Every structure is written in structure tokens, then in C-alpha cells.
Amino acid sequence: MKKIVECVPNFSEGRNKEIIDAIAQAVRDVPEATLLNVDPGESTNRTVFTFVGNLESVVEAAFQAAKKGYELIDMGKHRGAHPRMGAVDVVPFVPVANVTMEECVECSRRFARRVGEELGVPVYLYEESQDQAYRKALRDIRSGEYEGIKDKITRPEWKPDFGPAEFVPRSGATVTGARFFLIAYNVNLLGTRNQAHRIALNLREQGRGPDEPGRLKALKGIGWYLDQYELAQVSMNLDNYQITPLHTVFEEVRKDASELNVAVVGSEIVGLVPLEAILMAADYYIEKENLLITDEHAKVRLAVERMGLSSVSPFVPEERIIEYMIREEGDRLVDKTVEGFVSAVAARTAAPGGGSVAALVGALGSGLGAMVGWLTYGRRKFEHLDEQVRSIIPVLEDTRKELTLMVDADTQAFNDYVAAASMPKNTAEEKAARHAAMQEGLKNATMVPYRTMEIADAAWDAMLDIARIGQFSSRSDVEVGAKALETAVYGAWRNVVINLPLVEDEQFRKEAEKKAEELYNRARKKLEEIQKLLDSREGDA
């Protein structure tokens, strides 16, 4: 599977289009690196670039962009609202897909070493790349900003991790490291800088100091005023959106602004954002407003509307959500046309095979159940069932989405096993490594279809409920859906069973065999139960 690392360097230039374009081109010129977003800020005089690549290309792109930035940006002339200490201010590496944090740490160290040795710029490590606690936080490293580096860099405790321990007037200093996905997020106020900063102090984890911490964890923030938009902003970095989500930050700013009699007029995300963060916000508003929305794109639209993410500039999901940006057309089996998928199954290759087909059949089955739910929901004659149907549809929709993901997961598991079998076996060490990788691959190829069984199993109660109360004119759809769900469990079960004899871990083998058989027997019983239930409703026709 492809390894994808995101890099989000911040350059101290947000006004000169020629310089910004030159830096962007330096990234584009690196093979296998993809520039996703360029977000300049005139008042902050700062531009955030976002690009992705593999472990090698992302470091090369970061280096070439930095080299161009040092060449074109003179920090001695820089003025802007955002804190900064260098022409290339901060260069974070973020794991996106199939990459560990440790690998991103190594990316940052390779970048820092090259910048220090080849370009002669002092570089500091931060976050996960920094071993010393007092130098982990960006705010501590950047304290004093560019103007303070001249004295700070000569102190032993602030010697750079790479590069010269001396002030470079034109370039300043650079910070790099590996970190969790950071979201740069601003909430707009029709107020003053002081009011925005007051709210930031209330919310940010650091607060006003050790004796007066803020309300929200993993949040940094300041307040400023943007002349270009004629509004103030509470400007924040969410260090971990799973600890403090976007919607929480927005609602807390609204709360404090209301107490100050200041109007909130939307918000903006600088750079890209993970899909999960947007969907978390959507789920919050869905629950708060008692809505029934299951479609992903509708959820995204709800979050954008509720938080006013298009208030400063249009929030185009395909250009701002990182999963949408890196998804390649046709990259997944489920992106193919029906004809394309069926042809791939029928081709003279071992994958996609029965496991992927089983997952797709299950997705279609739960999709049929959801369809009957939607056909029942909201109709006057079934209005008394609305509350029950509202609880059924999301379960079947979630099952459909999860089983759809398993279509590619099953084929990938097989391909990973084949890759392990292709490892060299010329020496005893190579043979041992190959054997271990093949055994791990077999376990994974077993657990993926087992997971398909678990996902499908979780839908039975909802399928039973829709068989009990769904519009009876769609009886055949429920029957086909239930049979498809049972077929998915059967197909996945057979894929579990065929792999087990080759697995040497006896405890793993016995447990997987026992649990998988139990899930299949349960599926058979549930299918029979649904059929009997539908037969008993003959009078509803």
C-alpha cells in the first residue's frame, strides 16, 4: 500500500505572488510530490503550502521549496501579523496513509540535516522529533520571534539541532518536526483585535498563564484584526482535533462572543482538513438539531453551513478535504464502474476474488435495507413509525459504507501476502524474514474477511426491524437484502476457512475458526427469522 506523508510548510511571504508561485513550482517540479493547496494571507504576510508524497519525494519537495524560499525572502524586510522566526518558518511532516509517526520523524530529521549542512540555515526540531521537553512546543522555540534570534541562538540551551549556531539575517531560523494533523482555524468576529484576543485567552490551553489556564485542551490561539476583510479573528491551531473538535471550538467562541455582545460571522480553515474532523462537526449538529442525514456529502455541506466555512472564501470540499484531494480516480476497486469491477473479478488474476465479492454483496444487501427504510420514512401513512425508522437507517447506512471499504481491503490483504511471498530467500536471514512476513500476511488475509463477517453481523437487528415495520410493498427488496447479507457472511466465512490451515499460530487458528463459524450460523438463523417475519405480514399487502 502506498505510503503518504503530508508536509505543510509555512513561508513568511503572503503578498508577493511571484515569490509564492516560485515556491509552489519548486514543489511541483519534484516527481511523485503533489501540491494540494496554496493559502496566502495578506495581513499575516504568510503562506501555507500543502503537499503530499512518499517518504523520499516529500522530503525532496520540502527541501527544494525551502531552498527557493531562502533565496527569495528577506526576513530583514518582513512585517506581518503572524508570529514568525524565519523565511521558512515551520515545516511539519504529518502521517496520512500507511506511515508511522517514527517515519515522519525521520523525514523531518533528513530535511533538517540537509537544510543545515547544504544551505547553512539553523534548524530546530519540535513536537515528536524533539527529545528535550522544553524545546517541543513551537511557541517556546519561536519565543522572541525573528527579532530575538540574534541573542537567543548564542545561548547553549538554544543551540540549533542542525546548522550553524549563528544568526542568519536574511533567512532567520526554521523549525521542523513530525506531528499529528494540525488544523489552522479562524473564527470571524465583527469586533476588535482586543476582543478576539480576549476570547483566545479564555479558550487556548495555555490560557493567561499557569495560574489561569484556558478551557480547551490541545488548542493554541491569539486574536488579531484583518484589514483586508474588516473583521477580527480568533486565530487558533487545533493540535489534536480528536481531543478538541472543530465544532467545539466554534461553539465556544460563539458563547464568549455572545457574552461580549460581539457578532460571529462564520469561520475559515487555513489549508486542508481531514474528512473526519468535518464529519465530527456534522454529527454534532445532526444530534443537536435532531436531523436525519447519512449521506457523506450532505454531512459535509451541513458542517460547512453551520460553521460558516465559506464566509471569507468559498470552502470547496474537493479542494480542501485532504482525503478528497489525494484520492486518485480509479485507484480503488469501488471507484470502478459495475462493468469494470465485474471484468476485474472475471480476469485471469487471483484478486479481486471471493472476499471482495462477498463484501460488495453485503454492502448491496444493507443498502437495500436502507432503501426500504428511506421509502418508509417521511410518508404520511407511516408517520407513526418515523422515530423507529430514524434509528434503523443509520445502522444500515453505516454497514453499507463499512462493507464497501472491505471490498478493497480484502484484495489488498491478498496482494500484501503475495508481496511477502515474493521476498528474497537467498540467506537464512532472508528466509526467516520472508516466513515471518508470510505468516503475518496470512493472519491479515484471515482477519479481513472475518471483519467483513463482523460488520455484516452488526446489521441483522436493523434488517429485522425494517422487515417488521418497513413498507410491505418493498418486501422483495428486504428479502433480497437479507439474503445478500447472509451470502456475504457465507463468502467471508469461506475465505477465513481457506487461509487457516496455513497459519502456524494454533491459538489464533482455533479462535478464528470457532468465532467465524458462530457468525455464519447466526446469519443463517437471522435470514430464516426475517423470512418468517415477512411471511407473517401477508395481511399488510
For residue 3, the model assigns a pLDDT of: 85
Give the span between the Cα atoms of 456 and 251, in whole angstroms. 37
Phi and psi angles of residue 216, each rounded to the nearest 5 degrees, phi first? -115, 130
Confidence of residue 101 (pLDDT cuts 50, 70, 90): very high
Cell (9 digits) for 15: 503578498
Please say whether the beta carbons of 456 and 393 come within 8 A.
Answer: no
pLDDT of 434 above 60 = yes
Residue 409 parent element (H or E):
helix 386-421
**What span, in angstroms and rounded, lies between the C-alpha atoms of 284 and 312?**
23
Residue 207 is predicted with a pLDDT of: 96
Residue 530 CB neighbour total at 10 angstroms:
24
Q: Which amino acid is at 40?
A: P
pTM: 0.76
In one letter, which amino acid is 355? G
pLDDT tens readout for residues 179-220:
998 899 999 999 999 999 999 999 999 999 999 999 999 999
pLDDT tier for residue 97 given thresholds of 50, 70 and 90 = confident
Phi, psi of 21 (to 5 degrees): -65, -35
Query: Terminal CA-to-CA distance of the chain, rounded, Å?
Result: 51
What is the C-alpha to C-alpha distance for residues 311 and 189, in angstroms, rounded to an integer?
Answer: 11
Q: Which distant-in-sequence residues (6+ apart) come within 8 Å of 504 by Cβ?
A: 439
Phi–psi pair at 178, nearest 5 degrees = -110, 140
Q: Are residues 480 and 366 in the same domain?
A: yes
> Do strands 10-11 and 88-97 pair parallel, antiparallel, or not at all (unpaired)?
antiparallel
Q: Is the pLDDT of residue 117 over 80?
A: yes
Select from 136, 159, 178 the last residue of a domain. 178
- Work out the percent of the chain whose per-residue pLDDT is above 70: 99
**Would you say residue 328 lies in a domain?**
no
- Which residues make Cβ contacts (< 8 Å) with residue 374, sequence separation at least 6? 393
Q: At residue 1, does pLDDT exceed 60?
A: no
- Please indicate, yes or no, whether residues 190 and 296 belong to a single structural domain of this protein: yes
CA 125, CA 138: separation in Å to the nearest integer?
A: 9
Of 290, 319, 348, the one marking the end of a domain is: 319
Determine the Cα–Cα distance for residues 159 and 156; give it in Å rounded to an integer: 5
In this predicted model, what pLDDT tens digit does every residue of 240-271 receive, in sequence order? 999 999 999 999 999 999 999 999 999 999 88
Same domain? For 158 and 306 the reply is no
Q: Identify whether 18 is part of a domain.
A: yes
Nearest in space to 459 (alpha carbons), one of 523, 536, 516:
523
β partners of residue 53? 5
Integer Cα distance of 20 and 527 in angstroms? 61
Residues in contact with 359: Cβ distance below 8 Å, sequence separation at least 6, in sequence order:
403, 404, 406, 407, 409, 410, 452, 488, 492
Would residue 457 count as lying in a domain?
A: yes
In a domain, residue 219? The reply is yes
Model confidence at 371, in pLDDT bands (50, 70, 90)?
Answer: very high
Does 540 have pLDDT greater than 80? no
Secondary structure of 204-255 in the HEC alphabet? CCCCCCCCCCCCCCCEEEEEEEECCCCEEEEEEEECCCCCCCHHHHHHHHHH
**Which residues are part of the catalytic machinery?**
82, 410
50: number of Cβ within 10 Å: 22
Output the pLDDT for position 539: 66
CB atoms within 10 A of CB 440: 13
DSSP letter string, 426-448: SSHHHHHHHHHHHHHHHHHHHHH
Please, are residues 96 and 4 in contact by the beta-carbon 8 Å criterion?
yes
Query: What pLDDT does 227 receive?
Result: 87
Our count of domains for the chain comes to 3
Q: Are residues 285 and 352 in the same domain?
A: no
Which 8-state DSSP code applies to residue 381? Answer: G
Which candidate, 361, 363, 443, places its Cα nearest to that of 405? 363
Residues 173 and 190 in one domain: no
Task: Read off the pLDDT of each residue in 281-288 and give the average, rounded to a whole number.
Answer: 97
State yes or no: pLDDT of 344 exceeds 80.
yes
In this structure, are 410 and 492 located in the same domain? yes
Within 10 angstroms of residue 501's Cβ, the number of other Cβ atoms is 9
Residue 326: pLDDT band by 50, 70, 90 thresholds? Answer: confident
- Mean residue pLDDT across the chain: 94
Q: Of 260, 292, 319, which residue sits at a domain end?
A: 319
Instruction: Give me the amino acid identity at 64.
Output: Q
Q: Does 52 share its domain with 174?
A: yes
**Residue 291 near residue 306, CB atoms below 8 Å:** no
Residues 386 and 517 grouped into a single domain? yes
Mean pLDDT of 472-494: 96
Residues 273 and 211 in one domain: yes
pLDDT (average), residues 310-330: 85
Burial of 196 (0-12, 13-18, 19+ CB in 10 A): buried
Per the domain annotation, does 325 fall within a domain? no
Same domain, 337 and 438: yes
CATH number at residue 403: 1.20.120.680
Task: Say if residue 114 is in the same domain as residue 221.
Answer: no
Query: Is 60 exceeded by the pLDDT of residue 329?
Result: no
Q: What's the domain range around 309?
A: 183-319
Residue entry with cell 547553549: 156
One-letter amino acid at 29 equals D
How far is Cα of residue 394 from the mean position of the Cα atoms in its chain?
Answer: 21
172 plus 208 within the same structural domain: no
Sequence-ordered list of residues with C-beta below 8 angstroms from that of 477, at least 6 positions apart, any chain: 368, 371, 372
Give the residue-averaged pLDDT of 303-324: 93
In a domain, 326, yes or no: no
pLDDT in tens, 75-88: 989 988 888 999 99
pLDDT band at 527 (very low <50, low <70, confident <90, very high): very high
* Best CA proximity match to 240, nearest among 214, 201, 276: 276
Amino acid, res. 404: T
Instruction: Give, for 277, the enclosing helix (H) or strand (E).
Output: helix 275-288
| pLDDT at 331 > cutoff 70 | no
How sure is the predictor about 121, in pLDDT bands with cuts at 50, 70 and 90? very high
Does some domain include residue 324?
no
Chain segment 385-433, per-residue pLDDT in tens: 999 999 999 999 999 999 999 999 999 899 889 999 999 999 999 999 9
- Residue 187 sits in a domain whose CATH number is 3.30.70.670
| Nearest one of 387, 502, 519, 505 to 449, comparing CA atoms | 519
